[in-house]
Amino acid sequence: MTTVSNSGAGAPHAPTPVRQGGTSVRKVAIASGIGTTIEFYDFFIYGTAAALVFPTVFFPALGSTAGTVASFATFAVAFVARPVGAMLFGHYGDRIGRKKTLISTLILMGVSTFLIGLLPGAATIGVAAPILLVLLRFGQGFAVGGEWAGATLLTAEYAPPGKRGLYAMFPQLGPAVAFILSSATFLVTGSLLGDTNEVFLDYGWRIPFLFSAVLVGIGLYMRLAIEETPVFRAAQQADRADAAPRTLPLMDAWRFQTKEILLSAGALATLFAFFYMGTAFLTSYGTKTLGFSRPFVLTVGIASAVVFGFTIVVSALYSDRIGRRRVIMISCGLAVVWALALFPLLDTGSPVAFTIGVMVTLAIFGIAYGPCGALLPEMFQTRYRYTGAGLGYNLAGVLGGAVPPLIAAPLASAYGSAAIGVLLAVLGVVSLLCTKALVETKDDAL
């Protein structure tokens, strides 16, 4: 394999304008953060509903355990769809621009989520209900597959030298804010409807999905107000001046930087596993296995998301000082130890232990998540940066976000909950080794 170094790596930083054509870095950061918040809000409410509602509404004939497994299998579908979305949207993001592509991903996510809120249950339309649910979930994953890379590229390509970790942090905060919003929406909905299972299962769970249409409108307004990145515009001008035929971004990314794609996927696999555990799975585990009330579990989720957001900020800022690679390695090392301690702690049945379990899980996720918004854009050349960063990120989603949902519940049933911890610890070791093999990128120019 031929490896092409990052363009400008080791060279002095070219000054990136703080304001370009009326678009300031701060405005781009806010627009990217709002956009990822909306996209991940839509993504999270599905995970919460998969834990609390979907086994009963869409898989009633399977029983409690099998219904939960089937529900989380639909949750995993989105992670499988994400690399496909990364390839398609990455192609257009590298060809027609970051801004136009991000508008498309936001619209697709909004339509998919809104239609889930209107979808009749299995009691009404039979087997068509779970089939349509899977298709709409695929649409969500397809959209997120193209969203993340574009949002981080917007901020990273606008950011001044030495501050990419700081500015790329804003889209990374989207999941933390989205988790707060999704949990709060379900909490308020349950409170206003009396939190009775009958009303909640009938139509209460639909309100967060339908409400997403309002958020998507806000996100579109923000994204339409910003301009294309100066880095991408410069690359387009260079391409027009080059008479050589252009190849597909996907082919170039895979041909020249296969190693970086695979290593980044392995390095971030644990990040996704802890993301899934700290949100969807522990929501289900807390209510169904440990017997905690839905309001308590959702409140813990909100508090944990605040901790999650704080660790994203701190780790992103430190990555500008000590490097992306070192910060992510710290997260992977902590993940190996915490994975083995998590379920013995949870199985004490203590509300305090459950709170600590969710908070620490999301905090470890946040330590790795903060720097990766700058890391992946820095690893790839401009002409296929959207595609390369999206592929690495979303392949990690398959390894860490699709596999655990499918096997966690059967694994716990067959070998006890500690087996899930062993699975997470093994993923942590793999991520630690892959991160160690990466090259530090914080001083590379884009």
Comparing 167 with 236, the larger pLDDT belongs to: 167
- State the DSSP code for 384: G
pLDDT in tens, 209-256: 898 888 888 888 888 888 887 888 887 777 666 655 567 888 888 889
Quick one: pLDDT band at residue 184, thresholds 50, 70, 90? confident
* Interacting residues of 182 by C-beta distance below 8 A, sequence separation 6+: 41, 44, 45, 47, 48, 208
Listed in sequence order, the DSSP H helices in 96-127 are 98-118, 122-125
Averaged pLDDT for residues 8-12:
36
Comparing 103 with 193, the larger pLDDT belongs to: 103
For 43, the token pair is 């993504």
Cα–Cα distance measured from residue 120 to residue 111, given in angstroms and rounded to the nearest whole number = 16
Whether 33 shows a pLDDT value over 90: the answer reads: no
In 3-state terms, what secondary structure has residue 20? strand
Cα–Cα distance measured from residue 325 to residue 379, given in angstroms and rounded to the nearest whole number = 12
pTM: predicted TM-score of the whole model, two decimal places: 0.80
In 3-state terms, what secondary structure has residue 23? strand
pLDDT in tens, 290-338: 989 888 998 998 999 999 999 999 999 999 999 999 999 999 999 999 9
Poorest-confidence range of 6-10, 253-257, 347-351, 373-377?
6-10
pLDDT in tens, 91-122: 888 888 888 898 998 899 889 989 999 999 88
Cα–Cα distance measured from residue 19 to residue 324, given in angstroms and rounded to the nearest whole number = 26
In 3-state terms, what secondary structure has residue 160? coil
Averaged pLDDT for residues 14-38:
68
pLDDT in tens, 371-430: 999 999 999 988 889 899 989 998 898 888 777 767 877 887 888 888 888 999 999 999
Q: Say if residues 149 and 221 touch (Cβ distance below 8 Å).
A: no
CB crowding 275-300: b at 16 or more within 10 Å, else e: bbbbbbbbbbbbbbbbebebeebbeb
Quick one: pLDDT band at residue 35, thresholds 50, 70, 90? confident
| Closest by CA position to 174, among listed 35, 43, 299, 280 | 35
Write down the pLDDT at residue 240.
67
| For the chain, domain boundaries | 25-228+249-437
Cα–Cα distance measured from residue 372 to residue 351, given in angstroms and rounded to the nearest whole number = 32
Poorest-confidence range of 32-36, 164-168, 174-178, 341-345?
32-36
Helical axes 324-346 vs 351-379, angle rounded to 10°: 160
Write down the pLDDT at residue 243.
54
CATH level 3 topology of 25-228+249-437: Growth Hormone; Chain: A; (1.20.1250)
Averaged pLDDT for residues 21-27:
68
Quick one: pLDDT band at residue 13, thresholds 50, 70, 90? very low
Cα–Cα distance measured from residue 323 to residue 320, given in angstroms and rounded to the nearest whole number = 6
* Interacting residues of 361 by C-beta distance below 8 A, sequence separation 6+: 274, 277, 278, 282, 304, 338, 342
| Closest by CA position to 417, among listed 427, 404, 401 | 404
Quick one: pLDDT band at residue 195, thresholds 50, 70, 90? low
pLDDT in tens, 42-90: 777 887 787 778 888 888 877 766 777 788 778 778 878 888 888 899 9
